[in-house]
Amino acid sequence: MTVTIVGTQLGDEGKGALVDRYGGAADVVVRYQGGDNAGHTVVEDGEEYALSLVPSGAVRGTTGVLGNGCVVNPQTLFSELDDLRERGLEPDVRVARRAHVIFPYHRRLDGIEEEAKADSGEEIGTTGRGIGPSYEDKAARRGVRVGDLLAPDVLREKLEHVVPQKRALIEDVYDADAGEECDLEALHEEYADYGRRLGEEGMTVNCGDYLADRLADGDNVVFEGAQGTCIDVDHGNYPFVTSSNPTAGGATVGTGLGPTVVGDGEVIGVVKAYLSRVGSGPMPTELDGDDEAEALATEIRERGGEFGTVTGRPRRVGWLDLPVLRHAARANGLTGIAVNHLDVLADLDELAVGHAYELDGETIHTPPTRTEAWEECSPVTRSFEPWPDVDWDAVADEGYDALPAAARTYLEYLESELDTEVYAVGVGPDRDQTIELVDPWDRV
């Protein structure tokens, strides 16, 4: 049985918290795309864990898998594993041998390319983790895969091919100093060492085979999406996107299991009750432009702790965007939604959502395909009655009916607009601060 958890918006919707919530019944949690650009937070009894690469099931001791669709920085992986062990956890993580490896030259190029774009104001605002450059190498068929780290001779051959190209790119195209990121000997030594450690700890797997066996044994598998639908390289506001497919289709390509496996399970879209974004790109419902809007954005940002988990950058904040959610419901084939952060919106002076967009005098209900047109959309807003601040722990204990009536109206509006059920409601960051209406494991 499988449950796929995806971000419906622009990342940071609270996917980690929901994976952890459903993780009690899961035997395996699999990341299927992205890399250490992700920052997933799990809070257990007030203790906070911020995970970039290790799947969020680790906090409960569930086996984690980094699927073939991921790009893996072994430096991050091992330092995260070491940190978790120091905190008393015993993470069991497997890495697909078909996953691609992020090298220091990828991170360097990520930075150089962003700087070059900044001159013309076109930077994406990446996390600087080398994600784009490493997916570029994968598509260009010059990437190094995790399996290659296990064979030092093969690793050397691949590095001898690729490193001079990176050096030339950095020096000749960008007129920068190639530095230690292109020191072939040092790279070979460090990465062969990671290969040895991966081998010794028995961490690598043929991902598709491994997961198929676990499913055949009757295990429950969670696919943990990173990022979100509107920063998906195909379905997001390109080019202000990440370089992978966070949408549910990525769960099949990025693991080696067929679409029927994912489609037979549940697909839950995580919805932040408002909108946040790190990095550039269209955001028609953004709260900005005048003092009143910016004061509201500041209030929500402060209350919601809207500062990047990975980079610490303040996140842009806006009202919930229904065109984005309708797009996500279709692109992911959502069977249910989990709506988080209701507590953050409590007691505001005003509350609204972007119900539709207006573009060139027309009202549209889903985002336009061209990003330039998306930028030009203005929101058609709908006002909602704000709900009061209440004892959210008590509400979490008592369940859905204990939510303020205005909050229930907001959730029911979402259900009706997206034609899908609310499975869970987040009223705080802690595992216990989620109201569960539907247990997805009962549905699969």
Q: Is 325 exposed, middle or buried (0-12, 13-18, 19+ CB in 10 A)?
A: buried
Selection from ligand GDP, ligand IMO, Mg ion, none that 427 binds (CB < 5 to 8 A by kind) is ligand GDP
Could you give the count of Cα atoms lying within 13 Å of 288 in the half-sphere of its Cβ? Answer: 14
Question: One of 20, 36, 40, 327 is an active-site residue; which one?
Answer: 40
Selection from Mg ion, ligand GDP, ligand IMO, none that 30 binds (CB < 5 to 8 A by kind) is none
**For the chain, what's the residue count?**
444
Site for ligand IMO in 216-235 (CB under 6 A): 226-228, 231
- Min dist. Cβ of residue 12 to ligand IMO (A): 4
Residue 11 binds ligand IMO (CB under 6 A): yes
Selection from Mg ion, ligand GDP, ligand IMO, none that 343 binds (CB < 5 to 8 A by kind) is ligand GDP
- Min dist. Cβ of residue 10 to Mg ion (A): 10
Q: Which is nearer to ligand GDP, 235 or 341 (CB)?
A: 341
Q: How far apart, in whole angstroms, are the C-alpha atoms of residue 230 and residue 227?
A: 9
- Min dist. Cβ of residue 40 to ligand GDP (A): 4
- Min dist. Cβ of residue 37 to ligand IMO (A): 4
Site for ligand IMO in 398-427 (CB under 6 A): none
Contact map string, positions 260 to 289, toward ligand IMO, x by CB under 6 A: ------------------xx----------
Site for ligand IMO in 52-91 (CB under 6 A): none
Q: What token pair was written down for 390?
A: 């209440």
- Min dist. Cβ of residue 111 to Mg ion (A): 21
Asked if 65 and 207 touch (Cβ cutoff 8 Å), the reply is: yes
Residue 420 binds Mg ion (CB under 5 A): no
List % helix, strand, coil for the chain (3-state, nearest 5).
45, 20, 35
Q: Which of 267, 287, 289 is nearest to 277 (CA)?
A: 287
- 341 belongs to the catalytic site: no
Residue nearest to ligand IMO (CB): 279
- Min dist. Cβ of residue 213 to ligand IMO (A): 27
3-class DSSP state of 25: helix
Mind giving me the DSSP string for 183-214? -HHHHHHHHHHHHHHHHHTT-EE-HHHHHHHH
Q: Which is nearer to Mg ion, 145 or 315 (CB)?
A: 315
Strand partners, 57: none
Q: What token pair was written down for 123?
A: 């930077």
Residues at the contact surface with ligand GDP, assessed by CB under 6 A: 7, 11-17, 39-41, 43, 304-305, 309, 340-341, 343-344, 426-429
Contacting range for Mg ion; rule: CB under 5 A; set: 34-42, 76-84, 89-97, 256-264: 34-42
Asked if 245 and 25 touch (Cβ cutoff 8 Å), the reply is: no
Q: Phi, psi at residue 338, to the nearest 5°?
A: -120, 120
Q: How far apart, in whole angstroms, are the C-alpha atoms of residue 436 and residue 322?
A: 23
Selection from ligand IMO, ligand GDP, Mg ion, none that 93 binds (CB < 5 to 8 A by kind) is none
Residue 17 binds ligand IMO (CB under 6 A): no
E strand or H helix at 112: helix 104-118
Contacting range for Mg ion; rule: CB under 5 A; set: 1-9, 108-116, 197-205, 303-311: 303-311
Strand partners, 272: 340
Contact map string, positions 88 to 127, toward ligand IMO, x by CB under 6 A: ------------------------------------xxxx
Residue type, 164: P
| N-to-C CA span, the chain | 6
Mind giving me the DSSP string for 262-310? HHHSEEEEEEESSEEE-SSS--TTB--SSHHHHHHHHHHHHHHT-B-TT
Q: List b or e across 226-252, with b for residues whose CB sees 16 or more CB atoms inside 10 angstroms.
A: bbbbbbbbebbbeebbbbbbbbbbbbb
- 12 belongs to the catalytic site: yes
Contact map string, positions 304 to 323, toward ligand IMO, x by CB under 6 A: -----x--------------
Residue 131 binds ligand IMO (CB under 6 A): yes
Contacting range for Mg ion; rule: CB under 5 A; set: 32-40, 136-144, 265-273, 357-365: 32-40
Q: What token pair was written down for 352?
A: 């609204």
Give just the sign of the alpha carbon dihedral 421, 425, 429, 431: negative
Q: Which is nearer to ligand IMO, 283 or 352 (CB)?
A: 283
Site for Mg ion in 309-368 (CB under 5 A): 309
Residues that bind Mg ion (CB under 5 A): 12, 39, 309
Q: Residues interacting with ligand IMO, by CB under 6 A?
A: 7, 11-12, 37-40, 124-127, 129, 131-132, 226-228, 231, 242-243, 278-279, 309
Catalytic residues: 12, 40
